[in-house]
Amino acid sequence: MTRVQKAKRLGASGAHIATVLAFTLFTAFPFYWMLITTFKQTSDLMKRENNPFLLNQPPTLEHLRVLFYDTLYGRWLWNTAWVGVIVVVITLLLAVPAGYALARLTGRWGEQLGIGIFLTYLVPPTLLFIPLSRVIADLGLQDSLWSLVLVYPSFTIPFCTWLLMGFFKAIPPDLEEAAMIDGCSRLGAFVKIVIPISVAGILTVVIFTFTLVTQEFVYALTFITTASQYTVSVGVPTFLVHGDVYFWGSLMAGCFIASVPIAILYNFFVDRFIAGFTVGAVK
Amino acid sequence: MEARAPAVRVAADARGSRLGHILDSEKWLGWLMIGPAILYIVLLVGFPFFLALYYSVSDITIGSRSSNFVGLKNFAGIIGTAAFKTSLKNTFIFALVSQVVVLVLAKVLALLLQKDFRGKWVVRFLILLPWVAPISLGTIGWLWILDSIYSVINWTLQAMGLISPDNWPMWLGIPHLAMGSVITVHVWRLLPLATVILLAGLSSIPQDIHDAAAVDGAGFWRHLFQITVPLLLPIMTVAVLFGAVFTFTDMIVIYVLTRGGPYDTTQVLASLAFFTGIQGGDLAEGAAIALFLFPLLLAAAVVFLRIARRAEVT
């Protein structure tokens, strides 16, 4: 390789790195900003002359103390986890059998039905929250976390059924057929053979359902007005942001704590998730 | 109640006898397994949808006990208002502009990430962050970045000597800047999903095709527009489809950043429906506004069905 070629290649890889870095800066900057704001003293934050990229005064834990002791943040985290776990259970109970039936049992109808179920995932909360707010009020569930438990599976079930259908289709039918020749019923084969080897798929569904619950905003904003019943994604923007006084330190701490751990967990499963989105278009 | 159905089924299985017979029939078993899921979806998606249709032609409010049929009065009423016209226009501007920008950036980013390099998994994690973190919380991060007094963007611009200390732009307070800010946040939010979808598409193109094109002497641009883009077309449609549905129907970014302000200049249909129907208490009018999103979703569904069908044939 000549020196010119070498320089050219070095330049190309330098440009590659620089562009990748620019993109990363754009996507990750708000989270870096949350993190550094969390540990800055208020007097530092409220001084326009200070370089905002640095800690101009020693770091403080005051904002975290305020967040956990003087606001309902801890309660909102707990509410979110509680709703998340129950919605995961409901989703699994309904979507696992449905996904299996679509993959194996309903035959010609299965494909159409599967696409039909997936399409309901495209029906947004924005279209349904107004009638649902009345339904929830008539059921007496207003201001209760149970309203969210009832409504959230309506968007987790369609997507998870679709995902699971893909997983079950990838399992060779011979396995169940062998078990059925040995005297297992179809249901027995499903419970004893298919479910144990689908643990990875089921775990994926658990993670997605949970993250969908933590992200949901419109329904929680509509159904709940009591501060102690909020979930994190609604409690922080509606209750910590009030009037013109912003407690930026605590606010950013609240955002950071609730987003990054979920993001890390999600990151391990994202490829399967994308596979669900692109079924049909990639083959 | 539906949630308990599978447990009941297992119990029935143990009892054997006649029920066991039904469970042996695959057709019945199939419907039993899928029935509860369909019932849930019909009750909580189908039923409210028809309720929305009914509300839009009634005079129901949050407080009212009864409601009357009023025909198309709600639609006639809202179409004329300035707030509705702005919202309709904004919904399209936000969705279209952000989709075009996202598609171009995602394409570039996907091509960049296709190469292997050290620390790629960290980069991938950081790029995925806006998608996996709750949108409302990520948007609050932007609220602080775009703050009227302490904006870090303004500080940087001033440090670079581009603006003077006494006329820092109010990113969320001036109509055009506010629109730009909202679009930027939408782009930020949708870029990761579009990128990973396109990456999945890129990696599905067989290497032979690239090799053959290289042997035939195709240059970078020719390769891009005659090989990569046409082969990626179906999956790009999927990316656009999801992106369009998410931006058209989103109200979170608007709600957190501007609440539709200043003076409704960033209001969209979804947020207008919320402010009218829930905060204003006029369920009927809110439902009518939200229904304007439906034709669009129908179009998205049709496109998706066509893609799914084509994939089945090949």
SS3 content of chain A, % helix, strand, coil (to 5): 75, 0, 20
Its ipTM equals 0.85
B150–A45 C-beta distance less than 8 A? yes
Say if CB A217 and CB A236 are below 8 A apart.
no
Q: Please provide the DSSP assignment of B253-283 as one string.
A: HHHHHTTT-STTTT--HHHHHHIIIIIS--H
Neighboring chain B residues of A106 at a CB cutoff of 8 Å: 30-31, 34
Quote the pLDDT of residue A283.
Answer: 38
B252–A217 C-beta distance less than 8 A? yes
Is residue B135 less than 8 Å (CB to CB) from chain A? yes
Which residue in the set A46, A124, A185 is minimally distant from B24, CB to CB? A185
Q: For B60-76, how does the pLDDT look when each residue is reduced to its tens digit (9 = 90+)?
A: 887 777 777 887 888 88
B49 and B87 inside one domain:
no
**Is residue B61 situated within a structural domain?**
no
**Is residue B269 situated within a structural domain?**
yes
Q: Please provide the DSSP assignment of B126-145 as one string.
A: HHHHHHHS-HHHHHHHHHHH
Return the CATH architecture of domain A86-277: Orthogonal Bundle (1.10)
Domain residue limits, chain A: 86-277
SS3 content of chain B, % helix, strand, coil (to 5): 75, 0, 20
Within 10 angstroms of residue A56's Cβ, the number of other Cβ atoms is 15
B170 and B291 inside one domain:
yes
**Is residue B280 situated within a structural domain?**
yes
Which structural domain, as residue segments, surrounds residue B20? 2-56
Of the ranges A130-139, B152-161, B237-246, which one carries the lowest mean pLDDT score? B237-246
Quote the pLDDT of residue A146.
Answer: 95
Say if CB B59 and CB B68 are below 8 A apart.
yes
Res. B11: pLDDT tops 80: no
Paired tokens of A199? 């643990």
A129–B274 C-beta distance less than 8 A? yes
Say if CB A278 and CB B201 are below 8 A apart.
yes
| Nearest partner of A114 among A174, A59, A164, judged by Cα | A164
Element (H, E) at B113: helix B82-114
State pTM to two decimals.
Answer: 0.84
B44 and B193 inside one domain:
no
B249 and B287 inside one domain:
yes
Which residue in the set A130, A185, A237 is minimally distant from B286, CB to CB? A130
Which residue in the set B137, B150, B286 is minimally distant from A258, CB to CB? B137
Quote the pLDDT of residue B23.
Answer: 62
B119 and B221 inside one domain:
yes
CA of B2 to nearest chain A CA: how many angstroms apart? 8
Phi first, then psi: what are they for A241, rounded to 5°? -100, 100
pLDDT bin (cut points 50, 70, 90) of residue B2 is: very low
> What does the pLDDT average to over B274-292?
87
Task: List, in sequence order, every residue forming a beta bridge with B58; answer none if it has no partner.
Answer: B69
Residue A220 to residue A230: CA distance in whole angstroms: 7
CA of A106 to nearest chain B CA: how many angstroms apart? 6
Element (H, E) at A28: helix A3-38
B82 and B207 inside one domain:
yes
Q: Please tell me what DSSP assigns to residue A245.
A: E
User: Which amino acid is located at B184 in the chain?
Assistant: T
State the CATH number of the domain containing residue B235.
1.10.3720.10
Which residues, including other chains, have CB under 8 Å from residue B220's CB and lie 6 or more apart?
none
Residue B88 to residue B295: CA distance in whole angstroms: 13
Residue of chain B whose alpha carbon sits nearest to that of A44: B150
Which residues, including other chains, have CB under 8 Å from residue A2's CB and lie 6 or more apart?
none
Within 10 angstroms of residue B314's Cβ, the number of other Cβ atoms is 6
CA of B149 to nearest chain A CA: how many angstroms apart? 8
> What does the pLDDT average to over B9-25?
55
B267 and B153 inside one domain:
yes
Residue B263 to residue B172: CA distance in whole angstroms: 11
Is residue B277 less than 8 Å (CB to CB) from chain A? yes
Intervals of chain A under pLDDT 70: 1, 107, 242-245, 273-283
B48 and B82 inside one domain:
no
Which residues, including other chains, have CB under 8 Å from residue B57's CB and lie 6 or more apart?
B69, B70, B71, B72, B73, B74, B284
Res. B312: pLDDT tops 70: no
B140–A241 C-beta distance less than 8 A? yes
Cα angle A175-A176-A180, degrees, rounded to a multiple of 5: 125
Which residues, including other chains, have CB under 8 Å from residue A206's CB and lie 6 or more apart?
A88, A92
pLDDT bin (cut points 50, 70, 90) of residue B162 is: confident
Residue of chain B whose alpha carbon sits nearest to that of A186: B24
User: Which amino acid is located at A260 in the chain?
Assistant: V
Paired tokens of A14? 């330098």
Paired tokens of B132? 């996996």
Of the ranges A94-103, B29-38, B61-70, B151-160, which one carries the lowest mean pLDDT score? B61-70
User: Which amino acid is located at B21 in the chain?
Assistant: H
B148 and B284 inside one domain:
yes
Count of domains for chain B: 2
Rounded to 10 deg, the angle between the A125-138 and B283-291 helix axes is: 150
